[in-house]
Amino acid sequence: MTFIIESIVACALFTLFVFLMSRDPIKTVFNYPPAIIERCDKLGLVDASNRPGGAAFYAKKIVALVIFGILLGLLVRYANGCTTFWSGALTAYALWCVVNWFDAIVLDCIWFCHDKHFIIPGTEDMTTDYHDYWFHIRGALIGMLLAIPAVAIAGLLTLGGSRVSGSEKEADRISAQMAVDGVSNYCHSEFDWSPAQDNPSLMYVSLADSTETEYNVVFRSYTGTLTYFHVDRESGSARMVEFVPALNLESEAGSINLRDYLK
């Protein structure tokens, strides 16, 4: 679900960026097919200072790629929980590919190629070039290769992510005694135990049974009603089910987080 949300947000932000840049199409002319760039150059519409090439141009591209790799790394580490190089790199690459192909198919082949808003004055007759789908598909394929350095950086950033060892995870789980103690503390805070002062068996908390994932702790009230606490060993959440033996009636009674009642 996290990856789906990230993909939707990334595509939406990229779409907004393209929309803002398209308000003056000539500023993005170097993203157009070569024949259109050549026509615009002949018309004197091209700013030569923005032409791709040269050491400064490639230096900016490399810096941008490094920054993007760092941002991707932080995202997949803290949002996706990636803690190894390959999980971080592959998650980052998958996100890159989603946006890359969304750009190529939706924004370029469907939107750019068919929206007159992107047509630069003086190139209205170049319909074939504006409909050059292969130009955009080829760009997306190149983009998949350009992603490799960025996602490698992202993968390296995930190496420092925290990992929970098996012993730490086991220590953090709810034990049987903790389940009983937590339910007992909850019941003593919520119910009047004075009726059991002379007869302790009238009210009690005990472990009924357990499975690999939960404990079933039962509380008997002085009325004879039994409340079963289904305690999740990992999270500590406890689902309560009340059972009235005299009426053979069972009903859901809400839930609590047992960790809130452990001292």
How many domains does the chain contain in total? 2
List of the chain residues with pLDDT < 50: 163-166, 168-169
pLDDT at 164: 44
Cβ count near 217 (within 10 Å): 28
> Within this chain, do residues 84 and 102 fall inside the same structural domain, yes or no?
yes
> Within this chain, do residues 142 and 33 fall inside the same structural domain, yes or no?
yes
> Within this chain, do residues 15 and 110 fall inside the same structural domain, yes or no?
yes
Which of the listed residues 134, 163, 192 is the one where a domain comes to its end? 163
> Within this chain, do residues 34 and 121 fall inside the same structural domain, yes or no?
yes
> Within this chain, do residues 18 and 141 fall inside the same structural domain, yes or no?
yes
> What does residue 79 show for φ and ψ, rounded to 5 degrees?
-90, -40
On whether the pTM is more than 0.85, the answer is no
pLDDT at 165: 46
> Within this chain, do residues 9 and 138 fall inside the same structural domain, yes or no?
yes
Which of the listed residues 163, 189, 206 is the one where a domain comes to its end? 163
> Within this chain, do residues 137 and 31 fall inside the same structural domain, yes or no?
yes
CB 223 within 8 A of CB 230: no
The encoded tokens of residue 119 equal 């047509």
> Within this chain, do residues 19 and 107 fall inside the same structural domain, yes or no?
yes
> Within this chain, do residues 90 and 194 fall inside the same structural domain, yes or no?
no
**Tens digit of each residue's pLDDT (9 = 90 or more) over 114-158:** 888 889 999 999 999 999 999 999 999 999 998 999 999 999 988
> Within this chain, do residues 147 and 47 fall inside the same structural domain, yes or no?
yes
Residue 121 burial (C-beta neighbours within 10 Å; 0-12, 13-18, 19+): exposed
> Within this chain, do residues 151 and 177 fall inside the same structural domain, yes or no?
no
Q: What is the Cα–Cα distance from 217 to 220, expressed in whole angstroms?
A: 10
> Within this chain, do residues 45 and 137 fall inside the same structural domain, yes or no?
yes
Q: Which domain covers residue 29, as residue numbers?
A: 2-163
Which of the listed residues 140, 163, 186 is the one where a domain comes to its end? 163
